[in-house]
């Protein structure tokens, strides 16, 4: 197995490092040579001996000896070109590029199927946590009908800081940023785009569907206040940024939203930058995968497992259907904070000062918004 790694940043470098350090053990496992032939990057990088450094990814794609191209440069333009060209040359591709796959997955997966090669992306969701492959292979007996998770470590880290250090959103954001937890484009994390990319990949994988990314309704954590967190806690909940995908009677529900999760629930105990994915299906019922969602070696661990997986003769095919029937999941129990009492059926009610806080029975969101009319409110879903 001859490998070319394109992109030698955090994860790319970690991947090369693991492949070199664990070479002997990996080769014993699969009974075949495991060799990184190329490392490609626009910036000069010190590569371990024997690996060819190049600035031109075409050197890799045009080398007939290369079996697997690993795309770790990120972004959606050059990365796409590299992946498509590699697939067309009959090379397997491994990537961690969730944004690209969430936007252009349909084209890319179809290209892989047409060329009878693999396009694996375990590292794109949940960092190193095994979830894409287990959902596809270990759960193959099952019809999956719901996926829920905390898929963005940065926002979970900020929410944890707000709770533990008694901070408001902006104070916590500053600390998270100082500690390097926030990406250059903060909106990706804070407004839910990153979590939405990931839930889209999980939904494609589980439901065998393609759909437009823009169909996913998303809301980030900017509106989560310390006050609402405190009320939620009094009522037995934590606020988490939950990404959800489920089969509806007609079509599929997908959204990303700050959501109250019971503190007694395992998902409610996922703190710091950890991720969790819960999958519900007909035979296995609910199963949950938990671990670190990011980090050089954490993510590289998943990249390496995908690379080694390319050794198998098996090919994943992507004869998925394209659907437009993607809807937000609006039928739910809700947390409402208002400054006047409202007429709703509720499971819990709390009043403090001028605040009235309800955990409602399950409602269609529109019905609640009607009841609220023009008055001020803070509203979150409840899991």
Residue with tokens 């993510």: 299
Q: Least separation, in Å, of the C-beta of 261 and its own copies?
A: 12
Q: Least separation, in Å, of the C-beta of 20 and its own copies?
A: 12
Residue 4 in marked binding region: no
- Give the one residue of 139, 175, 372, 379 binding its own copies; rule: CB under 8 A: 139
H or E, element range at 287: strand 285-292
Q: Least separation, in Å, of the C-beta of 294 and its own copies?
A: 11
Q: Round to the nearest angstrom and report the end-to-end CA distance of the chain.
A: 45
Q: Least separation, in Å, of the C-beta of 289 and its own copies?
A: 6
Residue 225 in marked binding region: no
Q: Residue 304, class by beta-carbon neighbours within 10 Å (0-12 exposed, 13-18 middle, 19+ buried)?
A: buried
- Give the one residue of 53, 145, 297, 346 binding its own copies; rule: CB under 8 A: 297
Helix, strand, coil proportions of the chain in percent (round to 5)? Answer: 35, 30, 35
Using the minimum distance from each CB to its own copies, give the nearer residue, 60 or 298: 298
Return the beta strands (E) in 114-251 as ranges. Answer: 119-120, 144-150, 209-210, 217-218, 237-247
- Give the one residue of 9, 291, 350, 371 binding its own copies; rule: CB under 8 A: 291
Among 163, 156, 165, which residue's Cα sits nearest to residue 190?
A: 156
Among 359, 326, 358, which residue's Cα sits nearest to residue 218?
A: 326
Residue 183 in marked binding region: yes
198 is known as an active-site residue: yes
Q: How many helices (H) and strands (E) does the chain have?
A: 13, 20
Stretch that binds its own copies, among 35-43, 70-78, 130-138, 371-379 (CB under 8 A): 130-138
Residue 11 in marked binding region: yes
Using the minimum distance from each CB to its own copies, give the nearer residue, 66 or 307: 307
Q: What is the DSSP string of 335-350?
A: EEEESS-----EEEEE
Q: Is 41 helix (H, G, I), strand (E, B) or coil?
A: coil
Per CB under 8 A, does 314 bind its own copies?
yes
Stretch that binds its own copies, among 14-22, 38-46, 77-85, 214-222 (CB under 8 A): 14-22
Using the minimum distance from each CB to its own copies, give the nearer residue, 96 or 196: 96
Catalytic hit among 91, 198, 200, 292 = 198
List Cβ neighbours of 130 (8 Å cut-off, separation of 6 or more). 122, 289, 302, 305
Greatest CA separation for the chain: 72
Stretch that binds its own copies, among 72-80, 172-180, 298-306, 351-359 (CB under 8 A): 298-306
Give residues in contact with its own copies (CB under 8 A): 14, 18, 22, 25-26, 29, 122, 128-130, 133-134, 137-143, 264-266, 269-270, 281-292, 295, 297-298, 300-302, 304-305, 308-309, 311-314
Catalytic residues: 198
């Amino acid at each position: 197995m001859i490998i070319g790694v394109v992109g030698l940043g955090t994860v790319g470098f970690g991947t090369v490092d693991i492949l070199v350090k664990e070479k002997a053990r990996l080769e014993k496992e699969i009974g075949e040579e495991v060799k990184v032939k190329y490392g490609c990057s626009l910036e000069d990088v010190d590569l371990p001996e024997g690996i060819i450094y190049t600035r031109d990814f075409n050197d890799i794609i045009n080398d007939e000896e290369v079996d697997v191209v690993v795309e770790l440069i990120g972004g959606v333009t050059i990365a796409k070109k590299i992946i498509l060209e590699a697939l067309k040359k009959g090379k397997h591709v491994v990537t961690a590029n969730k944004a690209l796959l969430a936007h252009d997955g349909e084209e890319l997966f179809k290209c892989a199927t047409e060329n009878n090669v693999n396009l694996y992306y375990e590292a794109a969701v949940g960092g190193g946590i095994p979830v894409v492959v287990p959902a596809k292979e270990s759960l193959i007996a099952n019809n999956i009908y719901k996926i829920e998770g905390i898929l963005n470590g940065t926002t979970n880290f900020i929410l944890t800081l707000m709770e533990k250090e008694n901070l408001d959103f902006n104070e916590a954001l500053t600390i998270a940023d100082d500690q390097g937890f926030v990406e250059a484009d903060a909106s990706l994390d804070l407004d839910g785009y990153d979590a939405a990319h990931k839930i889209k990949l999980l939904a494609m994988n589980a439901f065998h569907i393609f759909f437009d990314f823009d169909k996913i309704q998303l809301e980030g954590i900017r509106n989560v206040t310390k006050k609402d967190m405190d009320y939620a806690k009094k009522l037995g909940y934590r606020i988490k940024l939950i990404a959800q995908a489920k089969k509806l009677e007609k079509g599929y529900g997908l959204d990303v939203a700050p959501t109250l999760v019971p503190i007694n629930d395992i998902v409610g105990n996922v703190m710091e930058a950890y991720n969790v994915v819960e999958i519900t299906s007909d035979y296995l019922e609910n199963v949950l995968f938990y671990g670190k969602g990011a980090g050089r070696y954490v993510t590289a661990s998943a990249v390496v497992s995908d690379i080694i997986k390319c050794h198998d003769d098996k090919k994943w095919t992507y004869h998925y259907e394209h659907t437009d029937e993607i809807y937000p999941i609006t039928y739910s129990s809700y947390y409402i904070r208002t400054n006047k009492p409202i007429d709703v059926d509720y499971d819990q009610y709390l009043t403090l000062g001028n605040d009235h806080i309800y955990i409602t029975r399950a409602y269609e969101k529109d019905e609640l918004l009607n009841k609220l009319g023009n008055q001020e409110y803070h509203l979150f879903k409840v899991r």
